[in-house]
Amino acid sequence: MAGYGLEALLRLMQNLRDPEHGCPWDRKQTLASIVPHTLDEVYEVIDTIERQDYPHLRDELGDLLFQVVFYAQICAEAGEFDFNDVVQGLVEKLLRRHPHVFPAGTLESFGAGCALSEAEIKANWERIKAEERAQKAMPDEAAPTEASPAPDSVLEDVAPSLPALLRAHKLQKRAASVGFDWQSLAPVLDTLDSEVQELREAVASGDADHIAEELGDLFFSGVNLARHLKLDAEQVLRGANRKFESRFRRVETLAAEQGMDMRQADEAELDRLWEQAKAELRKKAELSGKA
């Protein structure tokens, strides 16, 4: 079998988009139409990593790379930029953001940098990113209106289209970069308690809009707590999803073994099955940890 490299992949993509001999499906795609496929591929990569399914990770990474090549080809056809421009910009940015590794901002300067602490590296990273955001905001921008934030806002390029948990984390992190943050865990927990109480009051009021607002505040505070605990809220929730799925599947099995129709069971019966499933799976996990 022939050994294929990046050049072969780029050529293949060009062929798929060829107006005369290309693939009809690939030819009709636009930047917007392949976004859902990109999201699918990202989550499939995450899933294989979380399941430690490394034999399939190579394939999933290939599918994700293909998405990047696809976008670049469409933009090249429109005369915007091509894949090489993407790589050029990426390398320049990474060289610029790692002065402790590439002090002269070139690959050739690798190894000539000075050792920095993790805190110093993080501070440099945030400073450089802030400078990049300021640079982006400089060229001939229209004056801000009431509906749009000032160009120099640290929140300026946190994309509205990001998943809500990720965007909440990024907004909080950006605000923290200019000192707008709790300096200890206690007030974060206090705020979470306060949001729960406010949600209770909203529920008691029966005002649907108020309930939604307070529930959103609770979610946002939960993300803030995860950030202060140095946890990723998305991964934490994915873990909770996996745990619930595992327990619920066991509840279904227990119900079937006991000849129980879950749709007809009362709350007490379902709660008993739930507690049994939790105990069994907890014991299984403990035994697995000792093995």
Looking at the chain, how many residues does it have?
291
Provide the CATH topology of domain 6-81: Helix Hairpins (1.10.287)
Band of the pLDDT at 114, cuts 50, 70, 90?
A: confident
pLDDT at 278: 93
Percent of the chain with pLDDT over 90: 67
**Ranges of each domain in the chain:** 6-81, 167-230, 234-290
Q: What is the pTM of this model?
A: 0.65
Give the pLDDT mean for 85-94.
Answer: 95
Give the pLDDT mean for 143-161.
Answer: 67
Annotate 16-61 with three-state secondary structure. Answer: HCCCCCCCHHHHHCCCCCCHHHHHHHHHHHHHHHHCCCHHHHHHHH
Task: Answer positive or negative: Cα dihedral of 126, 132, 138, 144.
Answer: negative
Band of the pLDDT at 1, cuts 50, 70, 90?
A: low
pLDDT tens, position by position, 21-61 = 999 999 999 999 999 899 899 989 998 998 899 999 999 99
- Distance, in Å, from the CA atom of 146 to the CA atom of 167, rounded to the nearest integer, reads 22
Looking at the predicted structure, is the pLDDT value of residue 19 above 50? yes
pLDDT tens, position by position, 198-239 = 999 999 999 999 999 999 999 999 999 999 999 999 889 989
Burial of residue 277 (number of CB atoms within 10 Å: 0-12, 13-18, 19+): buried
CATH of 167-230, one of 2.130.10.10, 2.60.40.1180, 3.90.1150.10, 1.10.287.1080: 1.10.287.1080
Neighbours of 287 (CB within 10 A): 9
> Contact at 8 Å (CB) between 49 and 238?
no
Looking at the predicted structure, is the pLDDT value of residue 76 above 60? yes
Same fold, 6-81 and 167-230: yes
